[in-house]
């Protein structure tokens, strides 16, 4: 039986990404429109929505435990306090010697079970080896480059027992896994191999059973894969092509929020064929997810 999908938020995102769900009942859903330079939110219970804008493209947004957000602004990351004050953090320029302004941007991030922020980069022109994966310490003071030669650093999450980290470099057409211990990753290996015609693996989240829910750009769906074998278990079909990421939300963490995109700047979309391109969707896949980890600094 097909999993039903509804529009959760009809605001059109040029490139919707990185949804999170926070608050007492995991009801405060938030995401970014990367090229719209916007962070948008909607309350799952009340329906109240809001947004704020930034001066740069926003590759990710994650709420902080003290209020406000950490933002992956193009030349950041930065801390945004609840009152809108921006505070700087270590940047790629501090680690790599050059931030490649206008060439490289942040793309996706997630807070690990240990509280560190894992954040990835990509080239605006999608070159296959210009991106990298980094780790920002939970106090926000130290940014470390973990590895380079990344195409599009994208979705990530961790197993419930904290022994593995899952990771997507979109251009490899794989979901990989690492051994994970105290913030360190090792022994990278493929878990899911994406085949021709499936689209491109983008953002993802994992559920309480360590199964992976992966959004597929140009795939019009979110697919679920067994977190141990990589076997496909489920597919949620969406009414538009460019599906970007997902997160579990709601008091029972049983609702899946799914973001989408119109496309990258300059890309055209047939709005007659896909009138809901860029909207944010909601589904109830019949499983329970995990809470969004907040950033501590």
Dist. CA 120–CA 131, nearest whole Å: 7
Whole-angstrom distance, CA of residue 141 vs CA of residue 225 = 35
Tell me the torsion sign for CA atoms 3, 220, 240, 244.
positive
- For tokens 């080239």, the residue is 123
Cis peptide before 77 (omega within 30 of 0): yes
Reply yes or no on whether 202 is catalytic: yes
CA distance 87 to 153: 24
Identify the active-site residue in 108, 202, 207, 210: 202
Is 13:264 a contact under the CB 8 Å cutoff?
A: no
| Chain centroid to CA 16 | 9
Cite the active site residues. 202
């Amino acid at each position: 039986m097909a999993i039903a999908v509804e529009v959760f938020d009809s605001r059109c995102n040029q490139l919707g990404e990185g949804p999170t769900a926070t608050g007492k009942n995991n009801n405060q859903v938030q995401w970014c429109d990367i090229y719209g330079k916007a962070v948008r939110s909607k309350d799952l219970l009340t329906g109240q929505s809001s947004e704020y804008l930034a001066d740069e493209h926003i590759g990710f947004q994650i709420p902080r435990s003290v209020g406000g957000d950490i933002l992956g602004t193009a030349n950041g990351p930065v801390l945004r306090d609840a009152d809108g004050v921006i505070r700087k953090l270590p940047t790629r320029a501090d680690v790599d010697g050059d931030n490649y302004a206008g060439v490289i941007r942040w793309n996706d991030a997630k807070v690990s079970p240990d509280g560190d922020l894992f954040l990835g980069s990509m080239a605006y022109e999608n070159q296959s080896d210009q991106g990298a994966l980094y780790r920002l310490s939970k106090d926000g003071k130290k940014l470390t480059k973990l590895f380079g030669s990344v195409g599009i650093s994208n979705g990530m999450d961790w197993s419930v027992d904290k022994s593995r980290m899952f990771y997507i470099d979109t251009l490899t057409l794989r979901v990989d896994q690492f051994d994970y211990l105290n913030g360190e990753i090792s022994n990278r290996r493929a878990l899911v191999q994406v085949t021709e015609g499936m689209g491109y693996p983008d953002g993802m989240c994992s559920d309480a059973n360590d199964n992976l829910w992966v959004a597929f750009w140009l795939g019009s769906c979110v697919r679920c894969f067994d977190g141990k074998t990589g076997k496909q278990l489920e597919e949620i079909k969406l009414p538009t092509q460019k599906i970007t990421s997902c997160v579990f939300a709601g008091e029972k963490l049983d609702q899946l929020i799914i973001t989408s995109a119109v496309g990258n700047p300059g890309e055209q979309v047939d709005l007659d064929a896909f009138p809901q391109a860029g909207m944010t969707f909601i589904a109830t896949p019949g499983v329970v997810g995990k809470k969004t980890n907040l950033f501590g600094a």
